[in-house]
Amino acid sequence: MGEARLAGKVAIVTGAGRGIGKSIARALAAEGAHVVLASRTQPEIEHLAAEIRSAGGAATPVRTDITDERDVERLTAEALKVSGAVDVLVNNAGIGVFKPVVAMAVSDFDAMWNVNMRGVFLATRSVLPPMIRARGGAIVNIASLAGKNTFKGGAGYGATKWALRGFAGSLMLEVREHNIRVVTICPGSVDTDFSSTGKKGAQITQPEDVASAVIFAVTAPARSMFSEIDLRPTNPA
């Protein structure tokens, strides 16, 4: 087994209880990071924390509603207890409702914006002060190729991911002077229960592949930043 490239680092992962977030948390822990697991579903992150610890890693589960400002501040405070720093934030939590505009409830539209954008804003704003003080850090946003391409039924969800890319691009220009990297990963179809396409199987991008992209981004030489990474199957046929 190779050297743990993130030993001594603290990483927050939102939406860590399942799917892509779960794989990202495992990968960060395997690289030596103390992973702070955020999710609204406490049993899922408790189970994942136990799994990570049993494999020799370090994890702290923190039940968090990413749309609630007080919850997010508490999440950051818990992460800071580990070593006084937050080195990595992975904005992974997201929801999708895939319907034509005429059939979409206002509550569905609002819920996507609350999680997919408000949650990202709250979590990012919360970790920036300690990252700026430390003169470094990485903020990784899990967006989607739906933030670059349009499709039927994707107006609400896609709009949040286009917005996320705009947010991330502007943020990158604001914080790069503090040696903070902002990376946005845009997966296409991933073999999870979240996928709107229903595509499954070994030829489709797996959650572990998205996790590998996160590790690639946060372990790159400090002088370099992969500001956007598109991730799609090599040959889905």
Instruction: Please determine, for residue 161, whether its predicted confidence score (pLDDT) is greater than 60.
Output: yes
Q: Please state the pTM of the whole predicted model.
A: 0.94
User: What is the pLDDT averaged over residues 123-145?
Assistant: 98
Q: Pick 35 or 233 by higher pLDDT.
A: 35
Identify the band that residue 190 occupies on the pLDDT scale cut at 50, 70 and 90. confident
* Number of helices (H), then strands (E), in the chain: 7, 7
- pLDDT higher than 50, residue 1: no
Q: Amino acid letter at 145?
A: L
CATH class of 10-231: alpha beta
Helices 19-30 and 42-54 cross at an angle (nearest 10°) of 30
Q: Which of 157, 160, 172, 187 is catalytic?
A: 157
Query: Per-residue pLDDT for 31 more than 90?
Result: yes
DSSP string of 192-227, one letter each residue: STT-SS---STTSBPHHHHHHHHHHHHTS-TT----
| Secondary structure percentages of the chain, helix, strand, coil, to 5 | 45, 15, 35
Decide if 182 contacts 175 (C-beta within 8 A).
yes
157 annotated active-site: yes
What is the mean pLDDT of the segment spanning 218-224?
95
